[in-house]
Structure 1
């Protein structure tokens, strides 16, 4: 008599790639950069800017989107000689390699494919910048040593 496989929910089942797996909202889903994004309609080219306007408290991401209301204290948190927000903007800029072969074959990065992730990252960096400045101010108030002016 041949053994028959029966389904028992308590025993682990082998993974079958053809059966759909349940969606787990805590696991990030793979991002397909070739899928058109809703904020970039086909046929319309959106110019990426990635500029910071410290005086107005704005982050200009592209022609369509400007993030406003950035607290002034967020610009005071520096990584080297520039603010953390400016550093993030610089890292996400599209850079064009000089070599034509590299540019053609190995340069698939486009900011539009990572726009939503960049917005989330900028929000987190802004929060960290403001909170860090608050902590530094609290520590300075507790310090028995006063900074010389």
Structure 2
């Protein structure tokens, strides 16, 4: 493999990664299964307090995220967790940051449900981050080894 091939493949990978990472809010959400307790949900049913992983017996099941009491996301590919940002998967960052918290000193409540007028914003964001993570892993894994001749 020549330096030109390596350069061109890395340039294409950079462009593709730029597309996915800059447009994450407008890309098609990954078709994660939404399991709902009710047939019809209203806007308030999409509010999130704190997302947690499902459990399979006593073990954590990362293919499932309990979004709230009425919605569970399942069939999340484990490959999506291979995209790591500062020691944590992108999905785990979303789960950590998109939860209601209250500052102990000031009493100020940080509520991610207030950040958008779209009641589905957070749930669709999770699904979009699954897609971005999968595409990122696919692109990075397709890069040629710099030591290949």
Q: Under a length normalisation based on structure 1, what TM-score does the superposition of the two structures give?
A: 0.56
Counterpart for residue 59 of structure 1: 65
Q: Is the 8 A contact 2:49 2:68 kept in 1?
A: yes
Number of aligned residues: 100
Contiguous gaps of at least 5 residues in structure 1: 1-36
Q: Is the 8 A contact 2:48 2:100 kept in 1?
A: no
Say which SS state the counterpart of residue 131 (structure 1) adopts. helix
Q: CA deviation at 1:83?
A: 0.7
Q: Is the 8 A contact 2:65 2:73 kept in 1?
A: yes
Question: 1:78, 1:108 → 2: CA distance?
Answer: 25
Give the structure, 1 or 2, with the largest relative contact order (CA under 8 Å, sep 6 or more): 2
Counterpart for residue 104 of structure 2: 98
**Alignment RMSD (CA, Å):** 2.8
Contiguous gaps of at least 5 residues in structure 2: 1-40, 55-59
Q: Under a length normalisation based on structure 2, what TM-score does the superposition of the two structures give?
A: 0.56
Q: Structure 1 109/48 Cα, relative in aligned 2: closer, same or farther at 3 Å?
A: closer
Give 4+ residue runs of structure 1 displaced > 4 Å after superposition: 112-115
Of Structure 1 and Structure 2, which has the larger fraction of its residues in helix? Answer: 2
Question: 1:92, 1:47 → 2: CA distance?
Answer: 8
Counterpart for residue 136 of structure 2: 132
Question: 2:142, 2:95 → 1: CA distance?
Answer: 29
Which structure has the bigger radius of gyration?
Answer: 1
Counterpart for residue 120 of structure 2: 116
Q: CA deviation at 1:60?
A: 1.2
